Structure 1
Amino acid sequence: MLSNRFSIERGKDMAATHQQQTASGPKLVQTQGRRQTRLQRLGADLRRDRYLYLLALPGLVFFFIFKYIPMGGIIISFQNYSPFAGVLGSEWVGMEHFNRFFSNPEFMLLFRNTMAINVMNLVLFFPLPIVLSLLLNELRSVLYKRIVQSIVYMPHFLSWVIIAGLTFLLFAKGGGLVNQVLEAVGLARIDILTNPDTFWIMLTLQSIWKECGWGTILFLAAMAGIDPQVYEAAKIDGANRLRQMWHITLPGIRNVIIILLILRLGHMMDVGFEQVFLMYNGAVSEVAEVFDTYVYRVGIQQAQFSYSTAAGLFKSVVGLVMVVMANWLAKRMGEEGVY
């Protein structure tokens, strides 16, 4: 009896297993077919757009070599890294460097300065390329428009070393051109370079002068894609140029504005080392010390590689979180977002 019952149960299990295999067979075939279809579609896309992919290849190789491969060095932020022991031989300390960084009294100072400079850039600098693009788009003379574009693009190609030098030549308290003119007309000299109260606005004005014209490229390209017939219909309805800009041009480039804003939020912890470092001096150290200069001072000058890597990783994580949150918010509002 027991053997018969065991045989019956075993037969049922084998039958159930056979049914499951029979049922999963078509699903497996369907999944493999879908995968093969995707591969065929990918191959067709690569063949069709092979020249575009070849054009993008140098940029992809650059990002892979200089952006992705170095990410492996993040591991030393969890170690007491020693150049002599190497990554594999260094002692593992976990979150010790992060705890030290967050408990450091300088952390809040760095956070305040970095956020203040970036918020000023976001509020004062980010809208200006949009406004300048709207103004350039309204020019009717193509020649004049090209000349103005070339002039406002030029500062982008100057290095921060040159811009810092020009700033010192203009605003140095002792022999700066601006102070010499003020003294010649009987006015008091102004102190900008060593005044903590004007340091943040000086950096913002430098960024505006250097990058405002270059930032118009994407917005002008987006404006060029707006259907001219929409403007013609608006003219027939009696809309003036201001109304056309507000109701046609701005909505037409809204997606570009939102995408660039999301990407800008990802750099809220990244002020730009070169600009701040060149304008840095002892008189403004309380407002000029940011995460970038701190990582250089601690990591390079004091050779605290693991500690400075932990500070840099904190910056990157905050930027990633802000991009994800901004992208999620944009999609909730009905926009496309970055991804």
Structure 2
Amino acid sequence: MNMASNIKSTTTSIASDLKPTGIKLFFKKLVQQRILVLMSVPFLIWLFLFKYLPLWGWTTAFQKYRPAKSFSEQEWVGLDQFKFLFQDERFLRVLRNTLAQSGINLALGFITAIILALLLNELRGMIFKRVVQTVTYMPHFLSWVVAAGIIQATLAPDGIINMLMIKLGMIEKGQEILFLGIPKDFWTILGLGTVWKDLGWNTIVYLAAMATIDPAQYEAAEMDGAGRFRRMWNVTLPGIKSVIVVLLILNIGNLMESGFEAQYLLKNGMNIDYSENIDIFVLTYGINQSNFSLAVAAGMFKSLVSIVLLFIANNIAKRAGESRLF
């Protein structure tokens, strides 16, 4: 019996030694999955051409770039463009605005999307549920040109908000408020406008995650006497926790991407100190004034900070034992 077990273990060890490892295993899997590899080639080509090859342009940030000159004729200035950025009050202001706008959009958009998904998941009337989903999805398909026009018309002195305030006696006629002319209110208006436009669309992933939760868990919780809100707290939220963490990491990585269209369309001379972000700064003080090196330096800074934030958020999730990107 011992001899048979020894022979079996020896055979198993020999077989494991014969299994390909390292580079051989890689090429073996590559051959086995050759169809998938071939299908991914067009995407990899697109990724290289439009995402990685343009990184060569980052060299412009270290030059005093002049379009008429060749690469070898450009004047190299080192970190001068970055030094200028961090000594410029305008850039520090737009950096503050970018982080504030992104933070407000993240907080409002993230929380409201989860709450709406939880409420939609609890609806039992399918017709009403579909109507609510359709109504909340529709603004996402509007361009920001149309959405900004709606927001401006709503907040105008003769808009519905001022009319409602007059009807309720909150203000008198002739004392209408120009909301977009109040600088410190711009961040709130932008945050609420972004929530209105993207709320329904942001719930799709959460609703899909909720659909994968085992119904037996809800039945067990109901048998234990848990009410509807208790089931949402103890069953639904834990069931989608991994999705919430991954999306939170991605959103933190995009904190430097506060948008462009909404700010550009809603800004005016009165609120510019709070509406102008890095993207508008790049357009106004970089491209429009032909200072391409400054524009590239600002964009490069934004990208590098986004990468750092992504790794920090992912590492925090890893240390906390939560789901993560990598």
TM-score, normalization by structure 1: 0.84
Give ranges in structure 1 of 5+ residues lacking alignment: 1-28
Measured in 1, the distance between the counterparts of 2:68 and 2:268 equals 34
Q: How far apart in 2 are the matches of 1:66 and 1:87?
A: 20
Aligned counterparts of 1:274 and 1:207: Cα–Cα separation in 2: 11
For 1:165, the equivalent position in structure 2 comes to 149
Higher RCO structure, 1 or 2 (CA under 8 Å, sep 6+): 2
| Residues 1:185 and 1:35: Cα distance change in structure 2 (over 3 Å) | closer
Aligned residues of 1:79 and 1:92 also touching (Cα < 8 A): yes
**2:127 is the counterpart of 1:143:** yes
The answer on whether the counterparts of 2:210 and 2:236 sit within 8 Å (CA) in structure 1 is yes
Structure 1 residue 57, shift from structure 2 partner? 6.6
Match of 2:202 among 215, 232, 236: 215
**Which moves more between the two structures, 118-127 or 252-261?**
118-127
Root-mean-square deviation (CA, aligned residues, Å) is: 2.3
1:39 aligns to 2:27 (yes or no): yes
Which whole-Å CA distance do the structure 2 matches of 1:105 and 1:247 have between them?
A: 49
Q: What is the CA–CA distance in structure 2 between the aligned matches of 1:114 and 1:263, rounded to whole Å?
A: 17
Cα distance change of structure 1 residues 46 and 112 upon mapping to structure 2, 3 Å threshold: same
Distance in 1 between the 2:42 and 2:198 partners? 25
Aligned-partner SS, 1:283: coil
Q: Which of structures 1 and 2 has the bigger CA Rg?
A: 1
Corresponding residue for residue 5 of structure 1? none
1:268-312, CA deviations, whole angstroms, 9 ceiling, x for partnerless residues? 122101110101111011111211110110122111000111011
The answer to whether the 8 Å contact 1:129/1:215 transfers is: yes
Query: How far did residue 184 of structure 1 move?
Result: 6.1
Distance 1:219 1:106, change over 3 A: same
1:334 corresponding residue in structure 2 = 321
**Equivalent residue of 2:184, what SS?**
coil
> Which runs of 5 or more structure 2 residues have no equivalent in the other structure?
1-16
CA distance in 1, matches of 2:21, 2:313: 37
Which of 228, 244, 249 is the matching residue for 2:215?
A: 228
In structure 1, what is the equivalent of residue 235 of structure 2? Answer: 248
SS at match of 1:249: helix
Aligned twin of 2:8: none
Quote the residue 1:119 is aligned against.
Answer: 103
Counting aligned pairs with the same residue, the percent is 42
| TM-score normalised by L of structure 2 | 0.87
Instruction: Determine which of 81, 85, 92 is the counterpart of 2:76.
Output: 92
Which position in structure 2 is the counterpart of 1:325? 312
- The answer as to whether partners of 1:156 and 1:210 remain within 8 angstroms in 2 is yes
Superposition map of 1:154-193 within 5 A? 154-173=138-157, 175-183=158-166, 187-188=171-172, 189-193=176-180
Check the 8 A contact 1:76/1:87 in 2, yes or no. no
Give 1:190 shift: 1.9
> SS of the residue aligned with 2:307?
helix
Report the secondary structure of 2:161's partner residue: helix
Contact 2:102/2:258 (8 A) holds in 1 = yes
Shift of 1:59: 5.7
> Residue 168 and residue 241 in structure 1: after superposition, are their counterparts in 2 closer, same or farther (change >3 A)?
same
Counterpart residue identity of residue 253, structure 1 = I
Q: Tell me if structure 1 keeps the 8 A contact 2:91–2:281.
A: no
User: After alignment, is 126-135 or 233-242 more displaced?
Assistant: 233-242
Aligned position for 2:11:
none
Runs of 4+ in 1 over 6 A off after TM superposition: 29-32
Q: Secondary structure at the match of 1:198?
A: helix
Q: 1:321 to 1:229 in 2, by over 3 A?
A: same
**Cα distance, 1:138 vs structure 2:** 0.4
Residues 95 and 138 of structure 1: CA distance in aligned 2, closer, same or farther (over 3 Å): same
